[in-house]
Structure 1
Amino acid sequence: MYCLWVDGPYKGKGYGKALMEYCIDDAKSNAKSGVCILGSKKQKAWLTDQSFAKSFGFNVVDDTDNGYELLVLSFDGRKPQFAPNARSMRIENNDFTIIYDNQCPYIKKSLEVVKKYCEENNVPLTVNYVDSLEKAKSLPCVFNNWCVFYKGKFETVNLLIDVEMLKRILKK
């Protein structure tokens, strides 16, 4: 599960709890092993709040060197782990590179911002769309929804990318 959060005037009305309960019930009714959530040691605005997830019984079962955590609510005792390739957080391509799928409504707008900026500023851009389970499992990052690399190095999973963030990354 990615990005379970409630925004704006809908916060504090029980929608997050209802969404989480629905997800857990759905996983159980479909005989799944459990539910996983991507988290971070330092809370990031675009990831589910770990304290919220932990209130439902989620526990951290794996982490990466750069602070991402895998939280799990296991129904059968299994403890999944990040794939070794996800731990690398590196690619061979030096272009500004985005790997994404269509799980989030913010992706289209963010892609438009990045493409426009890169075109106007002659920044080499590579965009890779994840359209299969095999591609998702082979990614060099923990987040298959959206990840950004520059000069081969992982930069962010922040979907809400803007021109100022692009400039900061490109200065590195």
Structure 2
Amino acid sequence: MDIITITKENLKNEHICCAISNKEDIQVVSKKSWIAERLDDGLVFKKGNVRGKCFIEYIPAEKAWGPIEAPGYMYIDCLWVSGQFKGQGNSSMLLEECIRDSKEKGMKGLVVLSSKKKMPFIADPKYFRHKGFKLADTAEPYFELLYLPFDNTAEIPKFKPSVKNTAIQEQGMVLYYTAQCPFTAKYAPLIEVVANENDIPFKSVKIETTAEAQNAPSPFTTYSLFYKGKFVTHEILSENKFLKIAKALSSE
């Protein structure tokens, strides 16, 4: 399989959005717009020359959309290989390409947001540990920051102190999200509609800038739901899942 690097010139025509085939879909449009704005920040999106889930996305940590401190590191936003492309060494190929590229750019190493156990939408800890990544830091309730230094003298990355104990001051349900994942363009507005229809106190906060993301209240800026100030989940919810969670929380 050949690797294609997304550029401003080919972004419009390349398939980049996971399982979404329609390039006019709002999810695709939102994601491509987000990528276009990040390319000047050093964002790299590399994909197999296929239509499917086979890609890696990374960016210098100083420009990462996450509350971390990892100067000189490259931050992996997402490594996703699935479906017919899984089990063929494609994940390793993409990660090795990221390592090669990052070393050529003089980076100190790689860093990635993960979790204590495998969870949806977050890097698989078992896979990355198998590839040599080590634990750098933790944040409640289950987030882990993993890193792969290219030099053992490199400074260990860490979460910003503001997210060590994930919580916010606002009450009710509050959703923080970004356009980094295409699915949020569809599902974040949907649950806001459902909340209003069911008289559930709800507020959504779309993170629009790098600075906002780096000062977000959760390590996972793509999508984080809070209730009465406490973190609930990072999983992108359907309408039914949202209502189920809201009902459970309200009965506590």
TM-score (norm 1): 0.89
Percent same amino acid among aligned pairs? 30
Instruction: Please tell me whether residue 79 in structure 1 is matched to residue 156 in structure 2.
Output: yes
Which residue of structure 2 lines up, in the alignment, with residue 40 of structure 1? 115
Counterpart among 214, 219, 223 of residue 142 in structure 1: 219
Equivalent residue, structure 1, for 2:104: 29
Deviation beyond 3 Å, 4+ runs, structure 1:
none
Matches within 5 A, 1:104-143: 104-143=181-220
Matched residue SS, 2:80: coil
2:171 maps to 94
Instruction: Answer 1 or 2: which has greater strand percent.
Output: 2
Greater displacement, 128-137 / 76-85? 128-137
Which residue type is aligned with residue 39 of structure 1? S
Q: Are positions 1:152 and 2:229 aligned together? A: yes
Q: In the alignment, which residue of structure 1 is the partner of 2:84?
A: 9
The corresponding residue for 1:163 is: 239
Could you report, residue by residue, the CA deviation over 1:133-166 in whole angstroms, capped at 9, with x for unpaired residues?
221221111111211111211011112x112321
SS of aligned partner of 1:4: strand
The CA deviation string for residues 42-99 of structure 1, in whole angstroms up to 9 with x for no partner, is: 2112222112112322111111242211100122422111111112311111132111
| Aligned partner (choices 116, 125, 137) of residue 62 of structure 1 | 137
Cα pair distance change 1:156/1:11, threshold 3 Å? same
SS at match of 1:2: strand
**Which structure's relative contact order is higher, taking Cα pairs within 8 Å and 6+ residues apart?**
1
Root-mean-square deviation (CA), in Å? 1.8
SS in 2 for 1:54: helix
Shift of 1:12: 1.3
- String of CA shifts for 1:84-125, please: whole Å, max 9, x gaps: 111231111113211111111211122133122112212232
Number of residue-to-residue matches in the alignment: 171
Q: Letter of the 1:11 partner, please give it.
A: K
Question: What secondary structure is seen at the aligned counterpart in 1 of 2:77?
Answer: coil
The answer (yes or no) to whether the contact 1:43–1:49 under 8 Å persists in 2 is: yes
Check 1:79–1:157 CA distance in 2 against 1; reply closer, same or farther (3 A cut): same
SS in 1 for 2:181: coil
**C-alpha contact (below 8 Å) 1:97/1:149 kept by paired residues:** yes
Q: What letter matches 2:188 in structure 1?
A: L
Question: Structure 2 vs 1, CA of residues 124 and 65 (structure 1 numbering), >3 Å: closer, same or farther?
Answer: closer
List alignment gaps of at least 5 residues for structure 2: 1-75
Q: Distance in 1 between matches of 2:190 and 2:96?
A: 35
Residue pair 2:111, 2:146 contacting (<8 A) in 1 also: yes
SS at match of 1:135: helix
